[in-house]
Structure 1
């Protein structure tokens, strides 16, 4: 059963450190339940809601506008993928202009260090593409692919790979004693990641519920020194694509979670609360499923607006060609 583990922080020593930085003392790290063996009871109403939203997401690929335009689904998916990468990065406080991200994508070189915030977001685009391609080829994702995604995202060998030290969220930069949340100790992270990957590659629950649990568990484990949020949100798309709801990372769920920051954080906090039981889990699932529903609505709106813009451009071109006595443009 999930619980808090009592630990002791030894403190630090050295010249120039403040008293607060030197301070040692007790803290609590969280040990979550494994997903494979966790007993999960999902209320019927929530299950029905998840099924309804899954149908909405499926309709994104089935809508005529996504298939009949000149650039087809590939064109809109590229736009939505970049939007998702930018939104996911903004949640972490990284917010360059979209045009700078596009330029950084063109300049992206394998193995090159990330020299700008635009490059960091371009790296985020790259990991979504990389994981999407992996799912198309094999339909499974292993630990190696998740680590590769983090390495591609950060391009910093010093903080790449599964962490071997304790990390924490909030509080002091020097110790976890005053942290808002302390993830599991490093010695249990490999086992928890093995469990997460086994669950990710299965089909115990519906696609949306599985994506919600994978994301929340990954953020709870916090397996990396940096990049957890962006990689964790990329795994949402891995699950949705693997389970056949989408063909590409087209659902702008990070755009919604970024605007619902309080609900997003509250939902994850409830998921992690040992005393909340099934109620806390249901709260998180409801937040995530509602965000996916809103993301499907926004993706539909964006697609419709792009179709309308293309139609307007065609009308303008045809009007100009007609005024010049030229043949009308072919159908795009």
Structure 2
């Protein structure tokens, strides 16, 4: 069965605006946000996700805890904060389409809190609304197969990850694959999916935005459960993502990128791998093909890049510092040999 959702005008508008903000971020210096802002947003992410589940620790308490200071609070809440920090620290290393990575993340998130951390649930579970059971999750023996199928659909989907990450979040909560920690895992894994889609999401505290509208969050989940498709939840989450992205871009204090700044970012991205002009332009979606060509010509002229082929077939590769030294030495030796011959 395919992923179930409809593309509404709201979804299109939210997606377009989020992509516009991501384009603005790409057009800035390309440097990661300042460490202070990165740390603050990580802590906001952790505190927001935990608070949704009833954790009592404040932003200030979690900050102090991660600074190694003693914090007064329930032992379970302290464990949850320490575990969440570790789980999010590993976010870039997870394969978002891997069951193994998902279980590893749950182990980080729930170790010392539940006995079956990092394992699928073995019993039946229902989702409560007040004193009433609002949803009966699938039987335990079907959990792994359902998660594998969901991850496969995400991996092969042609729809924007902005949308499919929201679909995942909703369907994950319906499957409820763990005995505890499902809400935190759903939010963490959407973070992982979004970070794979665009690196800016490493620094955008969407969980904090969701915490500020928990009623809307649960209402959107319930509405999607009732309708049998994820549309309402996608609309809610995209609005939260847009708000988080807007705050994030407003907090940055960086200058627009020039050719040299783009080349520095490209060096970090491509490392020693060869790439085409099209590859370079896909890294900086806001620049034109002629601008990309001028950047690459500058890189070649300044001995930052080597080039093989010509025009449409050209491939580029960043020159390692030792290669530059060898080139300089070779040029110096050739010049000396020429001078000796002339004498």
Task: Measure the CA separation in 2 of the matches of 1:241 and 1:38.
Answer: 21
- 1:132 maps to which residue? 92
Displacement, 1:165? 0.3
1:267-286 to 2 correspondences below 5 Å: 267-273=220-226, 276=227, 281-286=230-235
TM-score normalized by the length of structure 1 = 0.66
TM-score normalized by the length of structure 2 = 0.64
Kindly indicate whether the alpha-carbon contact (under 8 Å) linking 1:169 and 1:181 is maintained by their aligned counterparts in 2. yes
Q: Count matched residues.
A: 249
1:18-57 to 2 correspondences below 5 Å: 34=1, 37-38=2-3, 40-44=5-9, 46-57=11-22
Displacement, 1:225? 0.7
Task: Measure the CA separation in 2 of the matches of 1:61 and 1:121.
Answer: 32
Kindly indicate whether the alpha-carbon contact (under 8 Å) linking 1:58 and 1:246 is maintained by their aligned counterparts in 2. no
Displacement, 1:246? 2.4
1:292 paired to 2:253: no
1:182 paired to 2:136: yes
- 1:14 maps to which residue? none
Task: Measure the CA separation in 1 of the matches of 2:193 and 2:88.
Answer: 12
The alignment yields a C-alpha RMSD, in angstroms, of: 2.9
* Runs of 5+ unmatched residues, structure 2: 256-343
- 1:165 maps to which residue? 123
Displacement, 1:45? 5.1
Displacement, 1:106? 5.3
- 2:337 maps to which residue? none
* Runs of 5+ unmatched residues, structure 1: 1-33, 109-113, 308-332
Counterpart of 2:101 (choices 133, 145, 155) is: 145
- Give the direction of change, closer, same or farther, for the CA distance of 1:61–1:127 in structure 2 (3 Å limit): farther
1:64-75 to 2 correspondences below 5 Å: 64=29, 67=31, 72-75=33-36
Task: Measure the CA separation in 2 of the matches of 1:83 and 1:260.
Answer: 15
Task: Measure the CA separation in 1 of the matches of 2:173 and 2:25.
Answer: 27
Displacement, 1:63? 3.8
- 2:110 maps to which residue? 154
- 1:322 maps to which residue? none
